[in-house]
Amino acid sequence: MKRLRRLLRLPFRRLPLRWLLPAVAVIGLLCRRPVWAHHALAGFLAGVFGLYLLRHLVLLAGALHARPEPPRPAGELPSVTVLVPCHDEAKVIDGLVRALAALDYPADRLDVVLVDDRSADDTGERLERAALGRPNWRVLRRSPDAVGGKSAALNEALELVRGEITVVLDADHQPEPGCLRALVRVFDDPGTAAAQGRCVVRNPGDGLIARLVAIDYLCGYLVNMAGRRSAFGLPAYGGANCAVRTPVLRELGGWNTDSVTEDTDLTLRVWLSGRRVGYAEDAVDTELAVTTLRGYWRQRYRWARGHQQVCADYRGALLRSRHLGVLGKAEALLFLYLYHVPVLCAVALLLAGAEASWPGAALTVPLWPVAPLMLAGPVLEIGGGLVRAGTRRREVLYLLLFPALFVLSMLLCTRALIDRRIGSAYSWVKTERTATAPNAAIGARP
């Protein structure tokens, strides 16, 4: 309980006056029971939840009716450089090396740059041993006083890139042998600047959290990403098992070291430059899911904090962009505000509780009937992911646990938004790795 209290504690003492006064005013209005204010807020929330429910349905329909990519004539494969940033990754290096060595890609068109990012364990030595006898593998040992974070490590490694396409993998990822061939095929379209493959959790048996994350990934890649490609042509660059044209990456200035979600940041810069991000569903690799509630909170808090910052940084430029039409801008904005929605869900629950405590307040738009809209869309997408993956029926039972995970999302997204608005310092945090042996992945092939 002490850990949970520390996890949820909000730094109210640092709350500036410009936020404290509006909060007091809102509380005062609620205490006076202004029904018109409840009407307006309830109508707004119902509209937002309804809009996102419609988006979920569109993505689900697009994913379920998505057609496989037509085969393309075999041509010369582009040269590829694979970058792998590694910070204290001794637990997973051996599996990564085996997977990289098994890649089915012409040796004269492929080189690998393994980055030892100031590791305190023997990661650097393991990488050096892995590169022995492999002339197209190089190891970059970063200085102990170098700027930390994944973006900084990737930018330093970018100077060593020789390939036309730069592929990024995280240290716990293990690409299937045909992953690179499937990933670079997306670049046959000259308008595509970046591409995302499909990531599958390979350790769902390591606990309840890992299994729920594994199912969540089925939704994210088999429904959300596939649906966005099918319905809007706007998949996102996801940060691992992903690729980008090297000249475009250098033109855009590499990865943003001020962002803790460098993938979302790069996605927006690609869109705003008039280029596209592609999605290769058959470019499959596996990764390790977090296995503890603490690890889940830290990882998703970083995603929420970074995504909300990207929203603030780029929403204005997105609205002014001449490269996206009305529908594209609408989808891009819904994507940007994704980590604000759980905050609104928390507000809706608080307002619904206020309704229950004020029996005399007759609201034209009561929140209790609206509340199911918050969960309907995500649950439908998760169910669609299970269907597309062809999972066992027993996996459907885990849908019953996602409302609890959604409540946790409300808490961490709200915490992230408040921390960002009050200027709380935050830097990139490494995802915890599990030492448990890998087990069978769920839905490795749709």
Q: What is the CATH number of the domain that holds 202?
A: 3.90.550.10
Which range, of 16-30, 172-186, 190-204, averages the lowest pLDDT?
16-30
Does the pLDDT value for residue 218 go beyond 60?
Answer: yes
CA distance 133 to 145: 30
Q: Which of 262, 248, 236 is nearest to 153 (CA)?
A: 262
Radius of gyration of the chain (CA): 23
What pLDDT, on the 0 to 100 scale, is given for residue 357? 65
Question: What pLDDT is attached to residue 333?
Answer: 96
Q: Give the mean model confidence (pLDDT) for residues 263-280.
A: 97
Q: Look at 41-45, 214-218, 389-393 and tell me which has the smallest mean pLDDT.
A: 41-45
* Residue 372 within a domain: yes
Report yes or no on 2 lying in a domain: no
pLDDT at site 10: 43
Predicted confidence (pLDDT) at residue 419 exceeds the cutoff of 60: yes
Percent of the chain with pLDDT over 90: 64
Q: In this predicted structure, what is the pLDDT of residue 42?
A: 76
Higher pLDDT, 113 or 17: 113
Q: Report the Cα 262 to chain-centroid distance in Å.
A: 10
170 or 67, higher pLDDT: 170
Q: Say if pTM beats, i.e. exceeds, 0.85.
A: yes
| Mean pLDDT, residues 18-46 taken together | 61
pLDDT at 114 over 70: yes
| pLDDT, tens digit, 9 for 90 and up, residues 344-353 | 888 888 777 7
Instruction: Report which of residues 205 and 11 the model is more confident about.
Output: 205
Give the pLDDT mean for 137-154. 92
- pLDDT at 55 (0 to 100): 94
User: Where does the pLDDT of residue 111 fall: very low under 50, low under 70, confident under 90, or very high at 90 and above?
Assistant: very high
Residues 150 and 232: their CA atoms lie apart, in Å, by 30
Report the domain count for the chain. Answer: 1
Domain, as residue range, for 114: 21-446
Q: Which amino acid is at 111?
A: D
Per-chain mean pLDDT for the chain: 86
Q: Which residues pair with 35 in a beta bridge?
A: none
Q: What angle in degrees, to the nearest 10, is found between the helix axes of 293-320 and 262-272?
A: 20
C-alpha 164/C-alpha 166 separation (Å) is 7
Q: Residues 6 or more apart from 423 whose CB is under 8 A from it?
A: none
pLDDT at position 15, please? 47
Q: Has residue 268 been placed in a domain?
A: yes
Q: What pLDDT does 368 receive? A: 58
**H-helix or E-strand containing 389?**
helix 372-389
Segment 110-121 mean pLDDT: 95
Please work out, in degrees rounded to the nearest 5, the angle formed at the alpha carbon of residue 344 by the alpha carbons of 339 and 346. Answer: 105
